[in-house]
Structure 1
Amino acid sequence: MKRVSAKQVAQEQQKQPTMQVDKVKSLFNDKIWDPTFQEDLKQEIHDSQPYNWGTIRDLVDDELLRKVRKEIETEIHFTSKETDIYKVNQSGDLANLSGLDWNDLSRLPSLCRLREILYSEVYRDVISHVTGAGKLSGSKMDMSINTYTKGCHLLTHDDVIGSRRVSFILYLPDPDKRWKDHYGGGLRLFPSIVANVPQSDHSAKLVPQFNQIAFFQVQPGFSFHDVEEVRVNKHRLSIQGWYHIPQKEEKGFIAGEEEAWVKTNTSTLAQLESKVLQDYEFPKGERDILPYHQIRHVDELLAAQSCKEGDSQSLPDLRLLSAKEMDFLSDFISPHHLTQEGINKLQSHFVEKSQLQIEDFLNDDRAEFLKQLIKKDEMEKDCPYESVNVKAPWKTAMPPHKWRYLYIDGKSHENFQNEQDILNKLNNEEMPNYTLLSQTLEDKKYQTETQLIALANFFQSSAFKKYLALLTLLSPLSEQVLIRRFRPGKDFTLATQIHKNDLLKQVEGFVDAVLEGTLCLTPSDGWESGEVGGYELYMDNQDEDENANKDIEDAAVYKSDDAGDSVLINKPPSWNSFNLVLRDESVLQFIKYISWSAKSSRWDVTVQWDVKTVDEDDHDENDNNE
């Protein structure tokens, strides 16, 4: 989207007729000029929770707003746009109205008039007074037009970008019909545990109506909100806008104020990327270093494999696995993935592509039993949607401006509601123990969890690590295993880079990338088109120069996930599919938000390993050091 400077906007405005104050006031509801109304609203905003915000019904002249809505419907073309953080219909070049010249605006006289009164000094002063935000710029205009249709949503964020001081949303759904709560599309506000760490669940929600405005002072680290998914085939039209810090030659301008604000108030995205909030992130990104004997056994297998490189029948060599190990593997893995031919094929693909998708990974008996258990849970058990109701062995991933899903990590239960809960956990860190956890879940109502934990133990076994080494020619050094459930209308992960393990960098043969494996166990169909989300997407993030100002240019943060060559892998949820990817820091990965329209949750078991390469010389050197 093309941006224009405040100077260009001011020059453009000089070409346009300017309304007198009395005319501006006449196009608003008379009540907003009433000092008593203003003081009452100011007090309501001061007392509001989870942070200071307000709303005004019937804000502007009804006839004007109906004309605005008609102009938008007839003159503006909307394009569907989707990223990891939102799905919405945007108005393209018309999204930022201040970027239009007068000829374009002549097709939108009512919209132009609305823009002028919303940024008029007399109205800005009212917003400044009731919010306590200070003076607001009238020249730095920042508005967009969005329509949320079925499936559209905007995930949790705090609006801290550039010089924004106040956010507002003016709603324009059908003026002759009430927008109902069950339609979705509500504005939800989240309390914060500490600065920059919102709670998993919202504590306030506004169901939007025609000619209603919601607004709040942008409060770095606290003004977290989202737009819940629209669930019905209706259009929730709105005008989103921001008031900025006054610019040079405007009333209230203070030299250096904007620069100091931008420098001090780092966007939450930047803080997440810089790891300063990692103490408040659960599950933790750290991978546990493997026991020496497991690393040693895999090293021996790869070194022995390396010795046979001249033998055309030795790559890979199943004889390096014992009969007991093969029996153990066959209790989980499909037989055709345990043959010489099957492993040859898988290894060849991974070595060439650094990624692998293994369909029908689990054998038929285990897969069918697990599928019936998961389907039964989906149909017969109530799934908790509020974090306070999540019970052991499940936990809620947090904070929700990075990810949200249910997970099992092999550790004791936790349910964070305040900062002290988190500090207590940090002071009592523990290692995962899926075996111990499974012993506490013998009750029949936990059959599904018991079977999923058996899979977690399988991935942690020495036999599986040897099998993994045959497929990838890599030796695992550390691991993290998570069982996850992504609920419809609730869960997702945003695009993130790999979490590096600096302790292992000095290891001989260390690979500066993370091996990721995800066994998808989603029992329903209907995911292939991507319309209901849930897909696991890997995308290239090497164009750092182009993204240097991404926070300023677009609140969406990341490029559209259909951006051609930037998408490396797009894997929709499926049943019994194992996805292996060797990912370095130039690649982002996320699980797209799951729509209410999905037929089930997305279930998976995901594993990360730090890895190294091993050859015959490495093994000989280890022998000499003993």
Structure 2
Amino acid sequence: MVEKRLAEQDEVETCFLKKANTTFTKEDIRSFFNEQIWRSEFQDKVQKSIANSGPYNWGTIKELMDDTLLRQVRKEVLSEIAFTKKETDIYKVYQSGDLANLSGLDWDDLSRLPSLHKLRAAIYSQEFRDVISKVTGCGKLSGLKTDMSINSYTKGCHLLTHDDVIGSRRVSFILYLPEPDKVWKPEYGGALRLFPSVVPNVPHTDYECKLVPQFNQIAFFTVQPGLSFHDVEEVRVDKHRLSIQGWFHIPQKGEDGFIEGEQEKTESMSTLNQLQSKELQEFDAPKCTRKDLPREELSMLEPSKPLTEAETQFLKKYLNPIFLEQEVYKKLADRFIKESYLEVQSILNDSFASTLKESLRDVEINEPTPQRSTDVKAPWKIAVPPHKQRFMYIEHTSNDVNNNNNNNNTVEKSPASIADSKLCELAKFLASVEFKRWLRIVTDLIPTSENVLVRRFRPGNDFILATTTEPQVARSPEEENVLLEATLNLTPTASNPKNWESGEFGGYELCMVQPSSDDGLEQDDPAIYRSNKEGDEDSVLHTNQCKWNSLILMVRDPSVLKFIKYVSINAKGSRWDIDCSWNVRSMGDEEDD
């Protein structure tokens, strides 16, 4: 899922196949490194450290390169390399252009990047590849297929959890180039974080260890399908975390160590993992299973009748009275039927909204935000696994805390805060027959099942990666093959739009059309959000920034991808919302008949 999104980036910008560089002698190559790299005792020490590492085998070497050379590389990069902002559901980073033709440049061009040219030749040299092979025990590495880019992580940049399994990759490496002679402190962010796996292909929601990068330090690990999960922590400050990211690949045809069919087998691993993921859905939480509405509720929804006085009075406890005026909700209905999409601002009445807003801000200001899964207490749970999603949630249908697979958080009941009580009360209202009656009038659709979820997306933690619905949404011929979805936005800090409207701090909900088979991508691939590509704007259907007291209604078919962008650590507060989805029947045919 994640790896395919990263693969497209690699194919376009960083991956290339060419003959090994022969410009430098063996002595030249050795001189480009710190001489300790070539000592057997040093290699043995690194090898032992990797063998004893966790959560999976990985290693790091400080002062890897010749110090003077690497300082020159950094200067060249900052003065000669252009960086482009790349942002999708999984990452935000500034990246260099294609480095594939460095060796193919004429001397006038190459003279601008001589140190970078030396560095790339050194990294992919036979000598250094032999060292990496020895200390990791990974086997032979290709000198023909090289794969490297330069990344600049500045304030707000991040890369979410993934295992790096794409194509023929065998070893992943990151060579760090933050400002030399200055310590990169843990509070700056930007650390490499490694995640253990609950079972293969299911990472734990909390990282086990992290590496705070320093100048001239390399981190590396063998790429292991379903196990080598890692991320890059968001950079929190206005500092420049420069790095060279790359991979060593399995040997290509004609190289020592080449095995016929090995590349095809390796390249199939991502697809295999996608197939296996269906079997691993038992580890997903929340399940978001839509429950059938009771027959008596359906019978109350089916007649096409105006709201009764009793229903209107009940709805007024929560809804803004203006949206209960017949002329107003008929206008809403006309707009929704025309566009299959509707935003209703100030949906809650002033009294309820004011109390809820005050209680939510009290939580954000006066209570510590849970950071790890063990900090999360009932009635809240943690959405898992983190290579798909992470956020706090409450399922409105369960007062007992059941079905908590892989949440790793305490499940005992605890006294609910005012905010929790108000959120649960509101979720119960959204599941009421009266609200669904109002919904039916506005949408011209009859709900037949429902799921309602209270959610909190914490700064520096939470997101949902792009996914579609199941291909077959309709469960019977009577149902439409779409979902009716609602997002009640309840982010109190968004009452000042300037806090969120730029999108800089994430937290926005984005819907886009899934790539078609004409793009050469699998139709059921759960998500390639390809921003910054020509024409990509046309595929984006809706982008909704964090809002306060705003209801979004939309009809979503299986071709539409949706995600919630990672919320920056520098956001003014959490994103709060209530997410609802319903299977539906159309009542148009009945009325026509």
Give CA deviations for 1:7-58 in whole Å, capped at 9, x if unaligned: x611xx5xx6521212211211121211111112111111101100000000
Is 1:522 paired with 2:491? yes
Give CA deviations for 1:232-273 in whole Å, capped at 9, x if unaligned: 0000000000000100111111111111222245375x358x
**Residue 534 (structure 1) aligned to one of 507, 513, 521:** 507
SS at 1:490's partner residue? Answer: coil
Give CA deviations for 1:133-160 in whole Å, capped at 9, x if unaligned: 1100011000010000000000000000
What's 1:323 paired with? Answer: 309
What's 2:357 paired with? Answer: 371
SS at 1:300's partner residue? Answer: coil
Alignment of 1:134-173 (within 5 A): 134-173=139-178
Is 1:295 paired with 2:304? no
Are the aligned partners of 2:335 and 2:342 in contact in 1 as well (CA < 8 Å)?
yes
Find the aligned partners of 1:496 and 1:102 in 2 and give their Cα distance.
45
Find the aligned partners of 2:245 and 2:554 in 1 and give their Cα distance.
39
Structure 2: which amino acid aligns with 1:468? Answer: L
Is 1:506 paired with 2:511? no
Find the aligned partners of 2:429 and 2:529 in 1 and give their Cα distance.
36
**Residue 336 (structure 2) aligned to one of 341, 350, 358:** 350
**Residue 569 (structure 2) aligned to one of 577, 581, 596:** 596
Alignment of 1:275-424 (within 5 A): 275-301=278-304, 320-410=306-396, 411=398, 412-413=400-401
Are the aligned partners of 2:14 and 2:148 in contact in 1 as well (CA < 8 Å)?
no
Is 1:119 paired with 2:89? no
Find the aligned partners of 1:470 and 1:291 in 2 and give their Cα distance.
19
What's 1:569 paired with? Answer: 542
What's 1:433 paired with? Answer: none
Is 1:579 paired with 2:585? no
* Aligned-pair CA distance for 1:299: 1.4
Find the aligned partners of 1:612 and 1:98 in 2 and give their Cα distance.
59
* Aligned-pair CA distance for 1:416: 6.5
Are the aligned partners of 1:538 and 1:568 in contact in 2 as well (CA < 8 Å)?
yes
Structure 2: which amino acid aligns with 1:540? Answer: V
Q: 1:459 to 1:133 in 2, by over 3 A?
A: same
Are the aligned partners of 1:299 and 1:619 in contact in 2 as well (CA < 8 Å)?
no
Give CA deviations for 1:499-550 in whole Å, capped at 9, x if unaligned: 3566x53242x11111110001001131000000001111111433325289
* Aligned-pair CA distance for 1:477: 1.0
Is 1:452 paired with 2:452? no
SS at 2:467's partner residue? Answer: coil
Alignment of 1:59-138 (within 5 A): 59-94=64-99, 96=100, 101-102=105-106, 104-138=109-143
Structure 1: which amino acid aligns with 2:18? Answer: V
What's 2:441 paired with? Answer: 470
Find the aligned partners of 1:322 and 1:100 in 2 and give their Cα distance.
77
Structure 2: which amino acid aligns with 1:341? Answer: E
Query: 471-480 or 255-264: which moved more?
Result: 255-264
TM-score by length of 1: 0.87
What's 1:9 paired with? Answer: 18
Are the aligned partners of 1:551 and 1:557 in contact in 2 as well (CA < 8 Å)?
no
Alignment of 1:14-93 (within 5 A): 17-93=22-98
What's 1:246 paired with? Answer: 251
Alignment of 1:424-443 (within 5 A): 443=415
Are the aligned partners of 1:178 and 1:209 in contact in 2 as well (CA < 8 Å)?
yes
What's 1:495 paired with? Answer: 466
Structure 2: which amino acid aligns with 1:331? Answer: K
Q: 1:558 to 1:222 in 2, by over 3 A?
A: same
Query: Highest Rg: 1 or 2?
Result: 1
Are the aligned partners of 2:15 and 2:147 in contact in 1 as well (CA < 8 Å)?
no
* Aligned-pair CA distance for 1:321: 1.6
Q: 1:469 to 1:5 in 2, by over 3 A?
A: closer
Residue identity over aligned pairs, in percent, reads 51
Q: 1:187 to 1:5 in 2, by over 3 A?
A: closer
SS at 2:271's partner residue? Answer: coil
Find the aligned partners of 2:532 and 2:586 in 1 and give their Cα distance.
33
Find the aligned partners of 2:442 and 2:380 in 1 and give their Cα distance.
32
Structure 2: which amino acid aligns with 1:333? Answer: L
SS at 1:266's partner residue? Answer: helix
Are the aligned partners of 1:133 and 1:217 in contact in 2 as well (CA < 8 Å)?
yes
TM-score by length of 2: 0.91
Structure 1: which amino acid aligns with 2:540? Answer: V
Find the aligned partners of 2:214 and 2:405 in 1 and give their Cα distance.
32
Find the aligned partners of 1:245 and 1:398 in 2 and give their Cα distance.
32
SS at 1:253's partner residue? Answer: coil
* Aligned-pair CA distance for 1:382: 1.3
Find the aligned partners of 1:155 and 1:550 in 2 and give their Cα distance.
24
* Aligned-pair CA distance for 1:105: 3.5
Query: 543-552 or 109-118: which moved more?
Result: 543-552
Structure 1: which amino acid aligns with 2:284? Answer: E
Find the aligned partners of 1:492 and 1:92 in 2 and give their Cα distance.
28
Query: Structure 1: which 5+ runs fail to align?
Result: 305-319, 426-436, 621-626
Q: 1:550 to 1:473 in 2, by over 3 A?
A: closer
Q: 1:371 to 1:21 in 2, by over 3 A?
A: same
Structure 1: which amino acid aligns with 2:401? Answer: H
Equivalent pairs, count = 573
* Aligned-pair CA distance for 1:100: 5.7
Query: Structure 2: which 5+ runs fail to align?
Result: 1-10
What's 2:584 paired with? Answer: 611
Find the aligned partners of 2:136 and 2:522 in 1 and give their Cα distance.
29
* Aligned-pair CA distance for 1:617: 4.1
Alignment of 1:542-561 (within 5 A): 542-546=515-519, 548=521, 557-560=528-531
Structure 1: which amino acid aligns with 2:579? Answer: T
* Aligned-pair CA distance for 1:565: 1.4
Alignment of 1:177-326 (within 5 A): 177-266=182-271, 270-271=274-275, 275-301=278-304, 320-326=306-312
Give CA deviations for 1:368-394 in whole Å, capped at 9, x if unaligned: 010000011111111211001211000
